[in-house]
Amino acid sequence: MRLFIAIKLNRKMKDHLISMQEDLYAQGFRGNMTKPENMHLTLVFIGDFDDPDQVIEIIDGIRFEPFSLKIEGTGAFGDLWWAGLEKNEALSALVKKLRHSLAEAGIPFDRKKFKPHITLIRRAKQVSKPSPRRGAAGKKTPEMTVDHISLMRSDRGKGGMVYTELT
């Protein structure tokens, strides 16, 4: 089972991210746009692990005060375009707690430096010149309160990846 721990996004956040995707499209970018139902913030990628109950136990043991997330800017890792998040100490502390607890339990996870982002488009290429558009750029960036984290399962489906919440 491919597992990851994530924050599921609310409708307002997803609507704003869709508008950001539309802006990228208007700028001539094409690729695999993330479907709204797959938009999330990965906190820890675990990968192949066959004991989700052990991970759920760890998630249930993590306590944190609700905190706010706010989108800030865009960026790219090669051909993957993403929306960034405003610097957030509570988010960083949560990820640190999760990683520490997973390591103590001997659960393997991706140890790359945490760079909070939400994937907008994979295999992006700019294939045409930009056209004028004011989508997300003209809108106030929404905030959302985080009071829950989820263990997610990732499966390849006919139309791309399918993410299923396990907690």
What is the distance between the alpha carbons of residues 121 and 82, in angstroms, rounded to a whole number?
7
pLDDT value at 82 more than 90: yes
User: The tokens 């700019």 sit on which residue?
Assistant: 126
Q: What is the pLDDT, as a whole number, of residue 135?
A: 55
Contact criterion met (CB below 8 Å) for 145 and 94: no
User: The tokens 């010149």 sit on which residue?
Assistant: 129
Q: What is the pLDDT, as a whole number, of residue 129?
A: 78
Q: What is the pLDDT, as a whole number, of residue 64?
A: 96
- Asked if 100 is an active-site residue, the reply is no
- Asked if 40 is an active-site residue, the reply is yes
Q: Give the mean model confidence (pLDDT) for residues 98-120.
A: 97
Tell me if residue 139 falls in helix, strand or coil: coil
Tell me if residue 141 falls in helix, strand or coil: coil
Q: Which two tokens stand for residue 118?
A: 């939400």
> pLDDT tens, 127-143?
987 766 555 555 678 89
Q: Identify the active-site residue in 16, 40, 100, 148.
A: 40
